[in-house]
Amino acid sequence: MAKKLNILILDPFHTGSHAHWSQSLIKFWGALPNRTITLCTLPGRHWKWRMHSASAEFARKCQPMTETPDAIICTDMMDVATFKGLLRKDWQHLPVIQYFHENQITFPWSPTDPDVEKGRDRTYGMINILSAMAADAIWFNSDFHRKRFLSAIATFMHPMPDGTRAFTEHPFTEKSQTLPIGIEWNLETNCLRPCNTPPTIVWNHRWEFDKAPEYFYRVLQHLQAHTVPFSLILMGPRFEKEPDILRRLTAQFRRNIIHEGFAPNRETYAELLHSSDFVIHSPQQEYFGISILEAMSFGVVPLLGKGNAYDDWCDEQFLVDDFETIRVRFQAIAQHPEPSRQRAREIASQFQWDAVVSSYDDALMKLIND
């Protein structure tokens, strides 16, 4: 690691898991010897406009920079092809890597989004594909995501009447790689603690349609119908337009709720996770699962729907496909949670940033040296 590397990260949607990722790379990757990470961001709002215009704004921001980076890393929220075309001439030889947190080919569209009716829903998937073609390397947060995106390209391009060889012959697979997101590791977690009375279920995800809060609501209804006691910690981030299901859930299960509201800081978040016993989740899409892994790192036992990125790294004992299985496992584990808590934390331990960041460094060094 003797060679010095300067890395420029462009984060056009700097909020939530995207911000966690880029800020953590500064903290952990930048802590390696001879590594300097520079971060340039845009606010995490207006995602469609970001995909159209972030490339031009970042090209403008790069223009006055006095130090030339060795590589540029951006996210899937940016049009790499346009960025490369607008980038200052003396930087056009630099490798550009695109990191895919999600993609707009397989990401479920909101039922309230008018672009589906107007036929504009293919625009952003096309930006993702052209960006992946223009990038020198494409990195994915999970192997599930990588395979899903690559296998969906041919289907997405099928309606195109002609001129498809540029897409079908492009070496997407050869330049793709899986590099997970890391989590900050908490050293003081008691995995020998018994379950609360009643056991506590935590929701620490966004309250948005793709996280399927309706599924969570139906699970709670199933538990209630079978007189299974539980309490609730509801602390996922909320937005201006809250889903109706959230209002129904909080109204029906008001007596079960022991905490409601977004955790204001990391310390409160950690305390709430350490007070939780189970995390039950089956979203419409999950390309990685950082909130689940954060919960597991505190010994929270996961019960997760199959068919998402969880399949890549989670034990079968924690994967479910029906409400009955959830109820049976919930009741059994609640009696003796210690082995499940310890295994959950053990699984999460492989995603510590200290360990994960070395894979980023190795991947970048290989790209630069090839």
User: How is residue 206 written in tokens?
Assistant: 């966004």
- % the chain with pLDDT above 90: 84
Q: Considering the domain boundaries, does residue 220 fall inside one? A: yes
Judgement on whether residues 259 and 211 belong to the same structural domain of the protein: yes
Q: Which pLDDT belongs to residue 108?
A: 67
Q: Which pLDDT belongs to residue 181?
A: 97
Q: What are phi and psi of 171, to 5 degrees?
A: -80, 60
Report the distance separating Cα 177 and Cα 24, nearest Å.
20
Q: Which pLDDT belongs to residue 221?
A: 98
Q: Widest CA span of the chain, in angstroms?
A: 68
Q: Considering the domain boundaries, does residue 219 fall inside one? A: yes
Report the distance separating Cα 259 and Cα 240, nearest Å.
20
pTM score, whole prediction: 0.92
Domain residues for 105?
5-182+353-369
* Per-residue model confidence as pLDDT tens digits over 162-192: 988 999 999 999 999 999 999 988 878 999 9
Judgement on whether residues 15 and 105 belong to the same structural domain of the protein: yes
Q: Which pLDDT belongs to residue 117?
A: 63
User: How is residue 238 written in tokens?
Assistant: 């909320």
- Give the count of beta carbons closer than 10 Å to the beta carbon of residue 32: 15
Q: Which residues, 6 or more positions from 88, have their beta carbon under 8 angstroms from its beta carbon?
A: 59, 62, 63
Q: Which pLDDT belongs to residue 236?
A: 84
User: How is residue 160 written in tokens?
Assistant: 């195109």
Q: Considering the domain boundaries, does residue 342 fall inside one? A: yes
Nearest-10 crossing angle of helices 213-225, 323-335: 70
Q: Which pLDDT belongs to residue 280?
A: 98
For residue 64, what is the domain's CATH number? 3.40.50.2000
User: How is residue 72 written in tokens?
Assistant: 């540029």
Report the distance separating Cα 84 and Cα 91, nearest Å.
9
Better-scored residue on pLDDT, 266 or 10? 10
Number of domains in the chain: 2
Place of tokens 């700097």: 14
Judgement on whether residues 155 and 246 belong to the same structural domain of the protein: no
Q: What mean pLDDT do residues 265-272 have?
A: 93
Phi/psi region, residue 119 (left: phi>0; alpha: psi -120 to 50; beta: rest), is left
Judgement on whether residues 278 and 365 belong to the same structural domain of the protein: no
- Using a 10 angstrom Cβ sphere, with 0-12 exposed, 13-18 middle and 19 or more buried, the burial of residue 4 is exposed
* Per-residue model confidence as pLDDT tens digits over 199-220: 999 999 988 888 999 999 999 9
Note whether 96 and 83 are within 8 A (CB): yes
Judgement on whether residues 228 and 256 belong to the same structural domain of the protein: yes
Judgement on whether residues 344 and 361 belong to the same structural domain of the protein: no
Count Cβ neighbours within 10 Å for each residue of 228-258 and write b for 16 or more, e otherwise. bebbbbbbbeeeeeebebbeebeeebeebee
